[in-house]
Amino acid sequence: MIVNEATRRLLITAGPTYEPIDAVRFIGNRSSGRLGTSLAEHAAALGWEVSLLLGPNAIEPTNPQITLERFQSTSDLENLLQTHLPESDVLIMAAAVADYRPAPEEVNLEGKRRREGGNLSIRLESTPDLLAGCSKIARDDQLLVGFALEPKDRMISSALSKLARKNIDLIVANALETMDSDSIEATLIGNTERGVEHESSTSGTITKTEFAKWLLTQLEPLTDQRKSINA
Ligand code: CTP
């Protein structure tokens, strides 16, 4: 691909994180990574330069133009974000990042925990908020987009508080009720504190493929506006 200054560069994360307990066990979640991968595919088809950071799952993107890197844990993803964020115009965090992981003294990557009888408690530590961390190091010409999967009755209020807490530019609020479904109903909200005046919603519930097209259409002008800051 010929890359020129007008080419939009997308860094996108998708899928679950697996936080190891020992050589064979982990704490994970049910994210399929389909939504983020579909966004990556559509962006690449539109001529964006796309780097996809994908968690452990069976999905393989089909577009050969997509640069693919795999992660397992939150810590792997944190390292990949630090490496790739500087080369991007937009970051979309669609990955379902763990909020807690086994504390280091609980983890044995070489062996397997034996059954000891009785109950077992494993101490968990908080993971860093990766989006908030990206916001601290991002340049003024970059756009940071997060997702907020929330119960419908408090979808917008929770999304707004995440937007402020993580200090990012935009958040996609989508209803928890559509998790694991092929369809989605979402609202994209800009952070006015960061100069992004934007609010738009999908027209009702749409397929995840339609959603990918819809979101990229919303993000294109906002990305170009940001990119022009340092042009
Ligand atoms: N996220 C992140 N780092 C984390 C957790 C979440 O970067 N440790 C990102 C997700 O990729 C998503 C956004 O933050 O884009 C919101 O994730 P969510 O799990 O809904 O929010 P949390 O910050 O974990 O808040 P809570 O668990 O209270 O809902």
For the residues of 157-195, what is the DSSP string, one character each?
Answer: HHHHHHHHHHT-SEEEEEEGGGTTSSEE-EEEEE-GGGT
pLDDT of residue 202: 94
> What's the pLDDT at 182?
84
- Verify whether ligand 1 is closer than 6 Å to residue 129 (CB atom): yes
Give the start-to-end residue ranges of the domains of the chain: 5-105+123-229
pLDDT tens digits, the chain, 231 residues: what are they?
A: 555 678 999 999 999 999 999 999 999 999 989 999 999 999 999 999 999 999 999 999 999 999 999 999 999 999 999 999 999 999 999 999 999 999 999 999 999 999 989 999 999 999 999 999 999 999 999 999 999 999 989 999 999 999 999 999 999 999 887 777 888 999 999 999 999 999 999 998 999 999 999 999 999 999 999 988 866
Ligand 1 centroid–CA 215 distance in Å is 19
Ligand 1 within 6 A of CB of 77? no
State the Cα–Cα distance between residues 197 and 170, nearest whole angstrom: 10
* Per-residue pLDDT tens digits for 62-113: 999 999 999 999 999 999 999 999 999 999 999 999 999 999 999 999 999 9
Which two three-digit tokens encode residue 120?
């077992």
Binding site membership of 93 for ligand 1 (Cβ less than 6 Å): yes
List the residue whose alpha carbon is closest to atom 8 of ligand 1: 129
Cβ atoms of residues 123 and 103 within 8 Å? yes
Cα distances (Å, whole numbers) of residue 215 to 192, 199, 200? 19, 12, 10
29 is catalytic: yes
Using most ligand atoms within 8 A of CB, pick from 11, 71, 97 the residue to mutate for ligand 1.
97
CATH class of 5-105+123-229: alpha beta
User: pLDDT at position 4, please?
Assistant: 64
- Centre of ligand 1 to C-alpha 97, Å, is 6
| Contact assessment for residue 170 and residue 199, using Cβ atoms and an 8 Å cutoff | no
What is the predicted pLDDT for the residue at 229?
82
Q: Whole-angstrom Cα distance, residue 34 to residue 52?
A: 12
Cα 201 to Cα 155: distance, rounded to the nearest angstrom: 13
227: CA distance to ligand 1 center in Å?
26
